[in-house]
Amino acid sequence: MPDKTPLIQVKNLDLYFGAFHALKNVSVDFHSGELVGLVGDNGAGKTTLIRVLCGIHKPTSGEVWFDGRQVKEFHPKLAIDNGIETIQQSVGLCDNLSIARNFYLGREPVRRIMGIPFLDMGKMRDLSTKVIREFGLRDNVSADDEVERLSGGERQSVKIGRAVEFKNRVVIMDEPTNHLSVREREHVNELALQLKEQGLLVIYITHDIFQVHKLANRIVIMENGEKIEDALTSSMTADQLEEVIRQGGRKVEKREAV
Amino acid sequence: MNTLARSQSFGALIGVAVMLAVFTAIDFSGWWTRATIANVIHFAAILGFLAMGQALVIMTREIDLSVGSVYGLTGVAFITLTPDLGVTGAVIVALLIALAVGFLQGIAVVKGQLPSMIVTLGGLFTARGIIYVWTGGSVHNFSEDARADWMTRLLGGELFGIEAAILWLLVIGVVLNLMLWATPFGNRLLATGGSEDSAESRGVLTDRVKIITFMLCSVLAGFAGILTLADRPQTHVTLGELLELEAIAAAVIGGCLLTGGRGSLIGAVLGGFIVTSFRYELIALGAPSSWFITFVGIVLIVAVIFNQKLARRLGHSV
Ligand SMILES: Nc1ncnc2c1ncn2[C@@H]1O[C@H](COP(=O)(O)OP(=O)(O)OP(=O)(O)O)[C@@H](O)[C@H]1O
Ligand SMILES: [Mg+2]
């Protein structure tokens, strides 16, 4: 892998929310065909880091390179156009819209009538129905139902199904198995592996250390806005991995005590 | 029936039915006269444009308080510019002025990250001030030539025996409904109002959606002003004063939730019909005209309570 140029390259990234220093001099490379586990305590900065990659946050300083080109402008639309699909932790679905409308939001298929683009509702319904069935949503949930009516797990399934359906070059998953039952978790983890096999880059954030140790070929650990570890999964056991995250936690406690 | 009850205009439909029943019961001879009905329909059509524009803005989770002033400013521009530009030229320039007002307000809201309530309150005063300065407080009128112009007749008076304003409302109402419910732009508009962060995370350019919506709202208000003056070509400085309140009331009575993302253009037009009906029924009953605002207030509050209950029953989080 080192012989290839990385697909995404983050160099000396700093990000402040007002006075709060959320990312501290983070540098990390991601390659195509990798499944990278991104782990660390609550509030470590995992979500913030991937939100830079998917264009929601603009870094205060530092560089992001995508496919050999430096990213100058940060907007989710640019990231999506670059082929980065993201399953966000807290946003991504509009409660007031149907599943079908949410599914295609921002990339609606159209049928032109006299040159005017009209929504191709048939296509929107068909594909989103197929995907929610694959994800085992109850039969009485239809693609025309508003997302507001869905349970937490159903919402998560819609988000994952959408990202996998539109997969392109990168799929970022921020705690994708949240709200999911055991069976659906296995399904998602299998999908993540498939994406990797297909040569995509998968960035997988989770608190499930043992699961990520099985899935990922590389693990990046964050702590307090810093990257504290970046190693191939094969170089450590799951117990060792857990221990490193624990130690990170202790380091913070000590610092705070001083 | 189920889809009807789920649509946001359900409350307004019931409101219209109840209102007509009550007016018929208490004042059959006063309400069902040619003069009352003609007035109600004409002014309800005019208010319908403002209500639809307002409804679209409310659906993006913003508000536009400037529509009364923009209605007045565009109307004044239309009349005042006609001697120099001709009727058609004046219509075009007047609508461009309305578009510019909407654009500036939209830019201020999204780029300045300011509450639209404040920005458009500023717009309300600024546009009204320009009307005073421009007209010098005096009344302007149309020449005989301008009254006879084909454009004037297309916008005012009657077409095929039906009032022009009503035909325009039908045409533009259909176009706006298609835009809102059947195009990608409409999907993004509803998404922006429903959850701006989620829409943005899916690549929707929410700033652009909001700016376009403010421009649509202003141009609809301006067009309503032009329709009014094409019908009765005389300006006055208070043209359109307090109309913003009627437009907001109409949109809310029509089922637009101020929490964004939900509403109905048909409902907004029906809401405008309810507001206007109250005005003329009060006149028909011989009540002092100042009672009108009080009644609008009461109807508004009743409608909000009703629509909230309806929305809760349907399981929406409001
Ligand atoms: N928009 C924001 N404004 C201010 N502070 C923020 C913002 N977003 C995140 N933060 C702060 O940045 C820190 C890192 O948050 P982040 O969401 O990246 O953590 P995380 O590693 O994803 O945690 P978790 O495992 O709980 O999801 C937190 O302390 C959080 O409070
Ligand atoms: Mg997180």
Task: Dump pLDDT digits (tens) for B15-71.
Answer: 899 999 998 898 888 888 888 888 899 999 999 999 999 999 999 999 999 999 999
The alpha carbon of residue B317 is apart from the nearest alpha carbon of chain A, in Å, by: 8
The answer as to CATH 3.40.50.300 being correct for domain A8-96+167-246 is yes
Angle between helices A152-165 and A182-197 (to 10 degrees): 10
Check if A152 has its Cβ closer than 6 Å to any atom of ligand 1: no
What pLDDT is stored for residue B228 in this prediction?
Answer: 93
Q: In A, which residues are within 8 Å of B260 by CB distance?
A: 96
| In contact, B50 and B220? CB cutoff 8 Å | yes
Please state, in angstroms and rounded to a whole number, the distance separating the CA atoms of residues A78 and A105: 15
Please state, in angstroms and rounded to a whole number, the distance separating the CA atoms of residues A39 and A211: 11
Q: Which 3 state secondary structure label does DSSP give A113?
A: strand
Please state, in angstroms and rounded to a whole number, the distance separating the CA atoms of residues B192 and B11: 24
Domain locations in chain B as residue ranges? 2-313
Residue with CA closest to ligand 1 atom 29: A43
| In contact, B218 and B66? CB cutoff 8 Å | yes
Please state, in angstroms and rounded to a whole number, the distance separating the CA atoms of residues B177 and A255: 60
Residues of B with CB under 8 A from a CB of A: 178, 182-184, 186-188, 190-191, 193-195, 197-205, 260-262, 315-317
Q: What is the pLDDT of residues A11-69, one digit of tens each?
A: 999 999 999 999 999 999 999 999 999 999 999 999 999 999 999 999 999 999 999 99
The minimum-distance atom of ligand 1 relative to the CA of A40 is: 21
Provide the whole-model pTM.
0.92
pLDDT bin (cut points 50, 70, 90) of residue B318 is low
Q: Do B178 and A56 touch (CB under 8 A)?
A: no
Question: What proportions of chain A, in percent to the nearest 5, are helix, strand and coil?
Answer: 35, 30, 35
User: How far, in Å, from the CA of A162 to the mean position of ligand 1?
Assistant: 25
State which residue of chain A sits closest to B311, comparing Cα positions: A96
Please state, in angstroms and rounded to a whole number, the distance separating the CA atoms of residues A236 and A213: 9
Among B60, B190, B202, pick the best mutation site for testing chain A contact (most A Cβ within 10 A).
B202
Tell me the CATH number for domain B2-313: 1.10.3470
Q: In A, which residues are within 8 Å of B189 by CB distance?
A: none
Nearest Cα neighbor of B220 from B180, B192, B257, B191 is B180
Q: What is the DSSP string of A212-258?
A: HHHH-SEEEEEETTEEEEEEEGGGS-HHHHHHHHHHHHHHHHHHHH-
pLDDT bin (cut points 50, 70, 90) of residue B4 is low
Nearest Cα neighbor of B46 from B211, B230, B186, B175 is B230
Domain locations in chain A as residue ranges? 8-96+167-246
